[in-house]
């Protein structure tokens, strides 16, 4: 089981966002562990204040180091009490990180516990990041208002690779990116919809021909929509 521990100022976002559909079911069934811990609960000052002005000036506020550190320490201690003695990954969601992809998702799906830190406002005091963060991960070259949506994206992508999460074990490895190609087009009933027929080969029952057709479609589709995937160094299949 992979356990995700999200450090955030908005725990409901995480719990509600992942509590539905396949991720929700896999949490209920115990294939995936999820807790969202409120950093504010670790601000041991009068008003549970977690942010302050930025030294040197500039717009906005910064999350202070101490509440983030205390929150991390509490979560780390609980994970250790649970018996995990392996080095822990603490991922900071930031546009300055390595850009998330299927390869990283696969790598993370082998971890027992993953701590994910979500920033807000203008970010987090650099000193605590230096102290606790092992990985900086971005979900793309654009700036969001906080790390919660990126954390949910990462958790969703990693969860569906964990055995038991998808009903059909095979369905995660025929999909887009799994072999560096986009997925082939798919069809369901009816056989003719508004005059458009399902490709004949798919009705033939000839498994080998179906596989050949799908593979060819994947290559065509990738060349059309994501030619960058075919030209990338390390491409394993063409």
Q: Which is nearer to ligand ADE, 21 or 96 (CB)?
A: 96
What the block records as the tokens of 88 is 């822990």
Q: Which is nearer to ligand ADE, 153 or 230 (CB)?
A: 153
- Say if residues 66 and 41 touch (Cβ distance below 8 Å): no
Q: Which residues of 187-219 are buried (b: 16+ CB within 10 A; e: fewer)?
A: eeeeeeeeeeebeeebeeeeeeebeebbeebbb
- Shortest reach from residue 119's CB to ligand ADE, in Å: 7
Q: Which is nearer to ligand ADE, 124 or 181 (CB)?
A: 124
Residues 116-145 that bind ligand ADE (CB under 6 A): 138-140, 142-144
Q: Which is nearer to ligand ADE, 123 or 180 (CB)?
A: 123
From candidates 65, 95, 102, 221, binder to ligand ADE by CB under 6 A: 95
- Say if residues 36 and 6 touch (Cβ distance below 8 Å): yes
From candidates 18, 93, 117, 161, binder to ligand ADE by CB under 6 A: 93
Q: Within 13 Å of residue 110, how many CA atoms lie on the same side as its CB?
A: 6
Please report, as ranges, the residues that interact with ligand ADE according to CB under 6 A: 93-95, 138-140, 142-144, 147, 150
């Amino acid at each position: 089981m992979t356990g995700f521990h999200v450090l955030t100022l908005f725990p409901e976002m995480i719990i509600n966002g992942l509590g539905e559909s396949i991720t929700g079911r896999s949490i209920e069934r115990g294939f995936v562990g999820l807790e969202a811990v409120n950093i504010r609960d670790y601000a041991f000052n009068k008003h549970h204040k977690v942010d302050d002005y930025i030294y040197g000036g500039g717009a906005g506020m910064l999350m202070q180091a101490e509440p983030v550190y205390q929150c991390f320490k509490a979560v780390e201690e609980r994970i250790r009490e649970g018996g995990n003695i392996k080095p822990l990954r603490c991922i900071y969601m930031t546009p300055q990180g390595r850009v998330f992809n299927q390869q990283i998702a696969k790598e993370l799906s082998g971890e027992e516990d993953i701590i994910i830190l979500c920033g807000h406002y203008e970010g987090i005091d650099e000193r605590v990041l230096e102290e606790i963060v092992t990985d900086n991960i971005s979900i793309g070259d654009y700036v969001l208002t906080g790390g919660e949506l990126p954390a949910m994206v990462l958790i969703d992508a990693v969860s569906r690779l964990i055995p038991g999460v998808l009903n059909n074990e095979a369905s995660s490895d025929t999909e887009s990116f799994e072999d560096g190609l986009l997925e082939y087009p798919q069809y369901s009933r009816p056989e003719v919809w508004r005059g458009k027929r399902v490709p004949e080969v798919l009705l033939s029952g000839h498994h080998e021909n179906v596989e050949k057709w799908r593979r060819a479609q994947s290559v065509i589709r990738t060349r059309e929509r994501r030619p960058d995937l075919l030209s990338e160094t390390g491409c394993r299949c063409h």
